[in-house]
Amino acid sequence: MSDPAAAPVALISTEVELPVVSIGDGSPPLPQLFDAVWADFARRGWTAGDFSITRDHPCEGQAISSHQMMSTDTGPVIELVVSPSTTLAGIAAQLTSLQSDARDALDRVGCAMIGCGVHPGLRPEPADYYRYRTPRPAYDYAIRERGWRHWTIVDKAAVQEVVDVSFEDAPRAVRLLHRLTGLMNFVLRNDPDLHGGADGCLSVRPLAWRDHVPHSGRFAGDARRVVIPETEIGGWPDYLSLLWEKGPMFLVGTKNHGQAWVPEHPSFLEFLAQAPAGGWAGRLLDGSPTRVIPDSSHVAATDWSYMGFARIRWKWRPQPPSVAEIVEAWHRGAIEELLADSLEKVVVENRGTSTQPPGEDLVSLALVSGLLANLDEATELSRSSDYPFWVRLLDESTRLPLESVVLGRSVPELAKEMIGIARDGLVRRGEPSPDQWLAPLLQRIEDGASPSERRLEDVRRGGAEALIRSVRI
């Protein structure tokens, strides 16, 4: 790893998802309400997109994208996306402004946001999914053609932390975050079983994603796309194999536009290397026929096709290599070198965190950015036990109290060590008040309770109404 003192401060960003409820009764709003909200924002100068609005916002360095956004994903959840910044304070200022704008717009239609990782009025069932879902054709494809169960995640809300890393460090940063997913979940979980379908679990997000995909049949390989991998990622070839070789190819095209699928269901590498003359016979998401000719833009778009709890996102240089060059480099074992020459920017996106309570929105970004700024020391912590221990820890984090011992190791002591490493990382980043950002995590350990326990207490005290009062933004 290069000397951090000589390197520019890494940009950071976050995507914060917040369940939206009716102020009157806590029920979820229908998709048409969000259409009205986006139209309201468009009249105020935002640019309307698919299930979203955006506006330009400059960032303090080279970024994959530089804008603010609000969107919906699976269902009645509003996602607030900030432009990259070098400081947590810069992110906090943007998020405060976005929350204020969203709060005002939602208030005008009788709704509010809440800081909970589970929507209290929405059940993870097909009937509720089809009533309240955001109408994304890609989701229909996954359900219809691949047997995915999108209703398992319709009521979940998360935080995605995005941090600059070097090309060389990206695979081990992802490997670190996969190992620490369970430990982070113990202190960050805010997604208890509110609906009674998961035996009172303290964290349902990992379980929902596991149930999200088929585990048998033609698309059993899709299970490798979610949560954390069965086999650890060793380096760039392993990670690219996860994207390009493991199981049938998903959609080609960007995440929101020009998407098509190939009924022969090749792997992505087979799609590149074995295309018939004139391209593959494909189907657009509306079912109409098309021809799909492999292109370097398809390769560039594969970074989103891995939906695990940590992944690499990238930006390609203006002149990417051809498909033939990519295939040839893969076969002679030179794909990492080709990628190093072809990528303009690399970031790591952590995806395992549930939405945090009001006022503590950025604790997970502080934790993740601190760990990645102190990658060597954080890696040593992750090496203190083997990978099966960390896999077990994630499983236990869905049901055990924070004050637990797993396979002879104290969860609170491990968590305090992790937070200390992250604090040192924030100091290395030049954050002026590192303790300010991480204090809520230490308080949770001191109290012996994560936000999930608080949410269950809210419900026991006064049902969904008390929960909403407790975490309304």
- Phi, psi angle pair for 168, to nearest 5°: -65, -35
CA atoms 86, 92, 93, 95: torsion sign: positive
Find how far residue 208's CA is from the centre of its chain.
14
Share of the chain above pLDDT 70, in %: 97
Please enumerate in sequence order all residues whose Cβ is within 8 A of that of 219, keeping only pairs 6 or more positions apart, or say none.
Answer: 146, 147, 213, 247, 248
Please enumerate in sequence order all residues whose Cβ is within 8 A of that of 338, keeping only pairs 6 or more positions apart, or say none.
Answer: 321, 325, 326, 329
**Helices 411-429 and 170-188, axial angle in degrees (round to 10):** 130
Task: Say whether pLDDT at 273 is over 80.
Answer: yes
Kindly give the pairing relationship between strand 226-227 and strand 307-308.
parallel
Task: Say whether pLDDT at 8 is over 80.
Answer: no
Average pLDDT over residues 388-413: 98
For all residues of the chain together, what is the average pLDDT?
Answer: 94
Q: What share of the chain is helix, strand, coil (3-state, %, to 5)?
A: 45, 20, 35
Average pLDDT over residues 362-388: 98
Task: Say whether pLDDT at 4 is over 80.
Answer: no
**Long-range contacts, stretch 242-248, CB < 8 angstroms, 24+ apart:** 242/306, 243/268, 243/302, 243/303, 243/305, 243/306, 244/268, 244/269, 244/272, 244/302, 244/330, 245/269, 246/221, 247/219, 247/220, 247/221, 247/222, 248/218, 248/219, 248/221
The total number of structural domains in the chain stands at 1
Per-residue three-class SS string for 125-158: CHHHHHHHCCCCHHHHHHHHHHCCCHHHHCCECE
Give the pLDDT confidence score for residue 257 in this predicted structure.
55
Task: Say whether pLDDT at 2 is over 50.
Answer: no
Within-domain flag for 254: no
Residue with tokens 């070098």: 86
Residue 472 token pair:
């309304």
Contact 338, 326 (CB under 8 A): yes
Residue with tokens 């048409």: 32
Within-domain flag for 263: no
Average pLDDT over residues 423-447: 97
Q: Domain limits at 362?
A: 11-221+228-246+346-471
**What does the pLDDT look like over 16-26, one tens digit per residue?**
999 999 999 99
Task: Say whether pLDDT at 83 is over 80.
Answer: yes
Give the pLDDT confidence score for residue 66 in this predicted structure.
87
Residue 43, burial from CB neighbour count under 10 angstroms (0-12, 13-18, 19+): exposed
CATH number of the domain residue 135 falls in: 3.30.590.20
The confidence band for 60, taking pLDDT boundaries of 50, 70 and 90, is: confident
Question: Distance between CA atoms of 243 and 363, rounded to whole angstroms?
Answer: 30
**What does the pLDDT look like over 158-214, one tens digit per residue?**
999 999 999 999 999 999 999 999 999 999 999 999 998 888 899 999 999 999 999
Within-domain flag for 3: no
Give the pLDDT confidence score for residue 194 in this predicted structure.
95
Q: Facing residues of 308 across strands?
A: 227
Single-letter residue type at 96? T
Question: Distance between CA atoms of 28 and 72, rounded to whole angstroms?
Answer: 13
Within-domain flag for 354: yes
Secondary structure letter of residue 54 according to DSSP: E
Least confident of 52-61, 89-98, 400-409, 453-462: 52-61
Task: Say whether pLDDT at 85 is over 80.
Answer: yes
Residue 32, burial from CB neighbour count under 10 angstroms (0-12, 13-18, 19+): exposed
Give the pLDDT confidence score for residue 64 in this predicted structure.
86
Task: Say whether pLDDT at 7 is over 70.
Answer: no
Within-domain flag for 308: no
For 369-466, strand residue ranges (E) read 405-406, 409-410
Within-domain flag for 455: yes
Within-domain flag for 295: no
Within 274-322, residue ranges assigned H as helices are: 296-300
The confidence band for 59, taking pLDDT boundaries of 50, 70 and 90, is: confident
Within-domain flag for 337: no
CA atoms 156, 172, 438, 63: torsion sign: negative
